[in-house]
């Protein structure tokens, strides 16, 4: 998969050199391009924002640098007559608290795409015409990490890339570890334990030491249900 990110803080994404995603980049499973929006400004101050039309607090990101930065990734707009022949391009994602909610299902869907482009807004957001223009050229999605407001899209994009990247076949060594996780299969994950069997007076549940695989599976399933009922009843199907 190819991932491009446009941001005014490219250094923010240096951490994508680390850990599983870093390895996935080294092995070529993920190809990453991080682009500085300010490289697409044409004034001495490398200005990316301006005051909002209609008034109000904060600043809005100007359309021209965004248009140029995204054209550099997507290619120049095709002449109208050749649009029908164009191969489907990348999916363009704008992280935004006004977007649809990011979920594990969305992470899985995005992990099957060949090319994602993330446009990290700051301040009060990006001029709406950038979204509207690129929506005429391909698939555009506004995606929210959750019902809270971050200072910009970078943290949200980091989270999305981690959630998407680990679902790309080969990125996580043991694919079975993806199957039993929270949000795969609708229930929260069961609690996990490792050695020693007793620590600070707390013992590992004896069933896990029993070697009885049927009993272990039943215990884990019961733990998943109990946990989900207690902290996330909204995830339970109506009949459970
Ligand atoms: N930018 C600011 N807040 C955000 C959120 N909750 N999700 C995605 N992008 C954001």
Determine the distance separating the centroid of ligand 1 and the alpha carbon of 141, expressed in angstroms: 13
Ligand 1 pocket, mutate which of 150, 152, 163 (most atoms under 8 A from CB):
150
Please state which architecture CATH assigns to domain 180-235: Orthogonal Bundle (1.10)
List the chain domain ranges. 2-166, 180-235
Q: How far apart are CA 193 and CA 203, in angstroms?
A: 10
Superfamily of domain 2-166: SPOUT methyltransferase, trefoil knot domain (3.40.1280.10)
For 207-222, the pLDDT digits (tens) are: 999 999 999 999 999 9
Nearest CA to ligand 1 atom 5: 97
Cα–Cα nearest to 140, from 77, 71, 83, 92: 92
67 is in an annotated binding site: no
Closest Cα to atom 6 of ligand 1: 97
Nearest CA to ligand 1 atom 2: 150
55 is in an annotated binding site: no
DSSP string, 10-35: GGGGGGGGSHHHHHHHHTTSSEEEEE
pLDDT band at 177 (very low <50, low <70, confident <90, very high): confident
For 58-71, how does the pLDDT look when each residue is reduced to its tens digit (9 = 90+)? 999 999 999 999 99
- Strands (DSSP E) contained in the chain are 2-7, 31-36, 49-50, 60-61, 91-101, 115-119, 140-144, 198-199, 202-203
Min mean pLDDT across 79-88, 105-114, 128-137, 162-171 is at 79-88
Name the nearest CA neighbour of 208 among 229, 192, 228, 189: 192
Q: What is the dihedral of CA 236, 237, 238, 239, to 10 degrees?
A: -110
- The answer for 19, left when phi > 0, alpha when psi is -120 to 50, beta otherwise, is left
Distance from Cα 156 to the centre of ligand 1, integer Å: 6
Distance 151 CA to ligand 1 centre (A): 8
Question: How far away, in angstroms, is 97 Cα from ligand 1 center?
Answer: 4
Q: ipTM strictly over 0.95?
A: yes
pLDDT of residue 22 exceeding 90: yes
Task: Quote the pLDDT of residue 175.
Answer: 81
- Percentage of the chain lying above the pLDDT 90 cut: 85
State which ligand 1 atom lies nearest to the alpha carbon of 148: 6
Ligand 1: residues within 6 Å at CB? Answer: 95-97, 144-146, 148-150, 153, 156
């Amino acid at each position: 998969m190819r991932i491009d990110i446009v941001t005014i803080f490219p250094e923010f994404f240096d951490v994508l050199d680390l850990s599983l995603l870093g390895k996935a980049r080294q092995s070529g499973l993920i190809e990453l391009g991080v682009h500085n929006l300010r490289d697409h400004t044409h004034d001495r101050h490398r200005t990316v924002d301006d005051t909002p039309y209609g008034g109000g607090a904060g600043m809005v990101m100007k359309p021209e640098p965004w248009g140029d930065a995204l054209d550099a990734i997507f290619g120049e707009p095709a002449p109208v007559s050749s649009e029908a022949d164009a191969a489907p391009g990348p999916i363009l994602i704008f992280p935004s608290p006004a977007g649809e909610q990011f979920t594990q299902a969305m992470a899985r869907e995005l992990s099957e795409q060949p090319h994602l482009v993330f446009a990290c807004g700051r301040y009060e957001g990006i001029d709406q015409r950038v979204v509207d223009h690129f929506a005429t050229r391909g698939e555009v999605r506004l995606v929210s990490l959750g019902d809270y407001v971050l200072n910009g899209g970078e943290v949200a994009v980091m989270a999305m890339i981690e959630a998407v990247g680990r679902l790309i076949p080969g990125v996580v060594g043991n694919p079975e570890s993806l199957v039993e996780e929270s949000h795969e299969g609708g229930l929260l994950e069961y609690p996990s334990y490792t050695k020693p069997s007793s620590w600070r007076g707390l013992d590992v549940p004896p069933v896990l030491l029993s070697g009885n695989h049927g009993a272990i599976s039943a215990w884990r399933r019961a733990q998943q249900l109990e946990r989900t009922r207690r902290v996330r009843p909204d995830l339970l199907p109506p009949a459970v």
